Structure 1
Amino acid sequence: MFQKLFNLSKLDVAYFLIFTGSLVFMYFAMVTSG
């Protein structure tokens, strides 16, 4: 059970990093274009 929770938390961290990374990328794209 703890292994499942650990894997789920790792997946959540990966999705969070991808989400924030895409937001930062979009922000920099807007700043550099305008």
Structure 2
Amino acid sequence: MNYYNKYLDVVNTFFKCFTCVYVLDREKKKFRYSLYKK
């Protein structure tokens, strides 16, 4: 059970990290796009 909890914790952290990176990347692209449009 302890190993399972640890595994879930790692997966959860990884998922949060991945989502964060994805959102940041998307925001950067939007930002570049808005710069190009000007």
Larger radius of gyration: 2
- Superposition TM-score, scaled by structure 2 size: 0.81
Q: Structure 2 unaligned runs (5+)?
A: 33-38
Mapped pair 1:7 → 2:5: yes
Count of aligned pairs between the two proteins = 32
Q: RMSD of the alignment, in Å?
A: 0.4
- Superposition TM-score, scaled by structure 1 size: 0.89
Name 2:36's counterpart in structure 1.
none
Name 1:28's counterpart in structure 2.
26
Q: Distance in 1 between matches of 2:9 and 2:28?
A: 29
